[in-house]
Amino acid sequence: MDYKFLDISLVSTSAIVKINRVEKLNALNGEIINNLLMLFENIEEDKNIKVVILTGAGDKAFVAGADIYEMANLNTIEAYQFAKKGTNLLKFIDNSTKIIISAVNGYALGGGFELALAADIIIASKNAKFGFPEVTLGIIPGFGGTQNLPRALGPYLAKELIFSGRIIDSLEAFNLGLVNKIVEPDKLIDITLELAKKISSNGFLALSAAKESINNGLNVGKNEGLNYESNLFAKLFSTNDQKEGMKAFLEKRKPEFKNM
Ligand code: HXC
């Protein structure tokens, strides 16, 4: 299937999804958001894919935000629908069984920063820049930024960044704990693929359960999170992968996970 503004390639068990609207710095219009959701729904069904790498085309931007041209004349109802469209995509990414890595090249602003933050891991090229300029446009982040940034940084730093609209570079983002690793721009995809390969060598059901447990725990109290974790832990003991993983250890060999 063809998705306008999206380039998709497969490397082993990783799908690389590149947002490609270079002339507008990959700004997210409604069509891109719809296509991303459709693509993620299809990827979810694909048993061969374990990791999805999200990136932007060109060397200037990951995504420079939601499309300001498209938003400029929205009425209140349309603005609500637009925000919902974006948050539905980000919720889908959150709940996806796949491990999602944002490989951020250049600007990740507004909705682009929110998309990057929705991933499980963020690898940034040296030239990456992150920020929420929404207040400079008279709006607020509307694709989950006011929820995900405080969860990542705590309320004080998140408020400073959202209230000021200040754009931070990759080093500051790394020092704040927003970015897992900074790499040379021309190595961004290769290094991200190496990480994807390392992750993919592990049991997929365990990966998905770990993601689910962590994400659930960020939204509930600790005791509830611990119960959830115990249940997921126990559930894995009904899988072949758990039997294979432990048998392989005892037999001093590498496991062959079948994701079942
Ligand atoms: C639409 C955009 C865009 C955007 C850039 N472009 N960002 N178009 N929406 N978010 C377009 C420009 O209009 C221009 O096309 C082309 O991309 C190149 O951009 P330039 O501005 O010429 O590049 P440069 O001078 O290098 O500046 C780069 C930049 C600047 C600093 C990133 O483009 C910028 O400030 N962009 C807006 C960033 C922003 O405010 N993002 C948050 C949006 S609000 P034309 O054809 O005009 O020359 C948001 C809300 C999310 O994301 C939540 C919604 C519910």
Q: Which of 134, 184, 224, 256 is catalytic?
A: 134
Q: Does the residue 256 lie in any domain?
A: no
Protein residue whose Cα sits closest to atom 29 of ligand 1: 64
Q: What pLDDT is recorded for position 116? A: 98
The pLDDT, as a whole number, for residue 253 is 97
Top mutation candidate among 20, 25, 71, 87 for ligand 1, by most atoms within 8 Å of CB: 25
Contact 66, 82 (CB under 8 A): yes
Return the residue whose CA atom lies nearest to atom 6 of ligand 1: 24
Check pocket membership of 138 for ligand 1, CB cut-off 6 A.
no
Task: Give the whole-number percent of the chain exceeding pLDDT 90.
Answer: 99
For 93-160, where are the E strands, in sequence order?
Answer: 99-104, 107-109, 121-125, 129-131
The DSSP bridge partners found for residue 81 are none
We report the CATH number of the domain holding residue 32 as 3.90.226.10
CATH number at residue 217: 1.10.12.10
C-alpha Rg value of the chain to the nearest Å: 19
114 is catalytic: yes
The answer to the question of residue 86 being in a domain is: yes
Residue 169 placed within a domain:
yes
Q: What is the pTM of this model?
A: 0.96
The CA 135 to ligand 1 mean position distance, Å, reads 14
183 close to 101: Cβ distance less than 8 angstroms: no
Model pLDDT for residues 13-49, shown as the tens digit of each residue: 999 999 999 999 999 999 999 999 999 999 999 999 9
244 is catalytic: no
What pLDDT, in 10s, does the model give residues 173-228? 999 999 999 999 999 999 999 999 999 999 999 999 999 999 999 999 999 999 99
Provide the residue range defining the domain that includes 160: 6-200
Residue 170 and residue 88 share a domain: yes
113 lines ligand 1 (CB under 6 A): no
pLDDT band at 2, cuts 50/70/90? confident
**Pocket residue to mutate for ligand 1, from 68, 134, 137, most atoms within 8 A of Cβ:** 68
* Summary mean pLDDT of the chain: 97
Do 132 and 22 share a structural domain? Answer: yes
Question: What are phi and psi for residue 216, nearest 5 degrees?
Answer: -60, -45
Q: Do 32 and 125 fall within a single domain?
A: yes
